Amino acid sequence: MTTFQTYLLGFMVLVVGLALAAYLLNVDPKWIGVGVVIAVGIGIIAATTHTKPRDPRPPTTPPRY
Quick: pLDDT tens for 4-63. Answer: 888 889 999 999 999 999 999 999 999 999 999 999 999 888 888 877 666 677 777 766
**pTM of the entire structure?**
0.71
Domain that holds residue 15: 3-50
- Residue 62 placed within a domain: no
Number of domain units in the chain = 1
- Residue 36 placed within a domain: yes
Q: What is the pLDDT of residues 35-49, one digit of tens each?
A: 999 999 998 888 888
- Residue 56 placed within a domain: no
- Residue 61 placed within a domain: no
Q: What angle do CA 21, 27, 30 make, to 5 degrees?
A: 110
Alpha carbon of 58 to those of 2, 4, 15, 55: distances in Å?
23, 24, 40, 9
